[in-house]
């Protein structure tokens, strides 16, 4: 009797394992695809224009806070007086704002979301220098290589934290002093994927993964430029890590430039928790890529 029951259990276990294996294999094959089927491959026509603008910050911006790196003396070698980069503003202009085309229609009536785009082969470099990420905010396209380098005489542990269920995998890899680059990709669009270092809790970066190449990050004078934009009318979004997001409609003329200036209000942004706060903003879904 017992033997019979044991055999039954064994059979159930084997079947369950096989089912689990099947599910694994199946999910691999049916994994998220970036491009909608039947998408038209985007091809420039020669009439592309650009979107340029400045990001202003009104109100009082919190001053950068000193970072105590006492836990790792080697960090000082490349960064003698480290400060937070949560808000980087100078003369009322805001750096590290991620600006991108969210949706829109080209002058010949095609939705930008309906195009597929080539994956750039060029690597996007995220360096670790002075125990901070350089750059602090960056953009790339799905499946484009992200090369993480370590210029510090110390070890780091790079930890990418995409939102769960969005199709991008969380990863977490240590990179000792002197180790070669680590190259990774993100399969899906995501605004934005936070990256932190498990060794140094103050280290943070944000990667905007956008289906198309129409994005930019504001520089230290608050300026940005998105080049190669097909003539058309678009919704442009400006995103800052402190939870602020601005949206604007712009029309890009053929071979011309559209201006898209954004103004953030320091009072309305979540600066209250301090310039050195270490919380991670939840990544926001990129709506035009909602289809799977
Ligand atoms: Cu680190």
DSSP per-residue codes, 181-208: -EEE---S-EEEEEEEESS-TT-EEEEE
Tokens linked to 55: 């990001």
Per-residue pLDDT tens for 186-234?
999 999 999 999 999 999 999 999 999 999 999 999 999 999 999 999 9
How far apart are the CA of 25 and the centre of ligand 1, in A?
A: 35
Q: How far apart are CA 95 and CA 206, in angstroms?
A: 13
Confidence of residue 57 (pLDDT cuts 50, 70, 90): very high
Residues 251, 169: Cα–Cα separation, whole Å: 36
**CA-atom Rg of the chain in angstroms:** 23
Residue 132 Cα to ligand 1 middle (Å): 7
Q: Tens digit of pLDDT for each residue in 81-95?
A: 999 998 999 999 999
Q: For the ranges 61-65, 147-151, 161-165, 168-172, which has the lowest average pLDDT?
A: 61-65
- Structure-token pair, residue 182: 């680590």
CA of 64 relative to ligand 1 center, distance in Å:
19
Q: Cα 27 vs. chain centroid, distance in angstroms?
A: 25
For ligand 1, the distance from its centroid to the CA atom of residue 198, given in whole angstroms, is: 7
Q: The whole model's pTM is what?
A: 0.81
Q: How far is the CA of 128 from the centre of ligand 1 (A)?
A: 7
CB atoms within 10 A of CB 243: 14
User: What's the CA-to-centroid distance between 157 and ligand 1, angstroms?
Assistant: 6
The pLDDT assigned to 288 comes to 40
User: Other CB atoms closer than 10 Å to residue 130's CB: what's the count?
Assistant: 19
């Amino acid at each position: 009797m017992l033997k019979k029951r044991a055999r039954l259990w064994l059979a159930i276990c084997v079947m369950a394992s096989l089912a689990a294996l099947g599910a694994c294999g199946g999910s691999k094959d049916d994994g998220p695809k970036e491009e909608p089927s039947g998408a038209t491959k985007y091809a420039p026509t020669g009439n592309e224009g650009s979107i340029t603008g400045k990001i202003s910050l009104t109100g009082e911006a919190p001053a950068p806070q000193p970072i105590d790196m006492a836990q790792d003396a080697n960090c000082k070698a490349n960064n003698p007086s480290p400060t937070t980069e949560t808000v980087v503003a100078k003369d009322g202009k805001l750096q590290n704002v991620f600006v991108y085309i969210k949706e829109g229609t080209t002058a010949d009536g095609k939705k930008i979301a309906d195009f597929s785009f080539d994956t750039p082969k060029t690597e996007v470099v995220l360096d670790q220098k002075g125990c901070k990420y350089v750059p602090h905010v960056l953009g790339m396209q799905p499946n484009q290589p992200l090369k993480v380098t370590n210029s510090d005489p110390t070890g780091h542990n790079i930890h990418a934290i995409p939102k769960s269920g969005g199709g991008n995998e969380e990863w977490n890899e240590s990179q000792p002093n002197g180790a070669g680059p680590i190259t990774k990709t993100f399969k899906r669009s995501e605004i934005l994927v936070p990256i932190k270092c498990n060794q140094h809790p103050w280290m943070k970066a944000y990667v905007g993964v956008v289906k198309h190449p129409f994005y930019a990050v504001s520089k230290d004078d608050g300026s940005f430029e998105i080049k190669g934009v097909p003539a058309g009318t678009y919704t442009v979004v400006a995103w800052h890590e402190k939870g602020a997001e601005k949206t604007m409609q712009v029309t890009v003329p053929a071979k011309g430039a559209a201006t898209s200036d954004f103004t953030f209000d320091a009072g309305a942004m979540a600066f209250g928790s301090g310039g050195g706060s270490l919380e991670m903003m939840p990544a926001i879904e990129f709506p035009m890529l909602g289809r799977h």
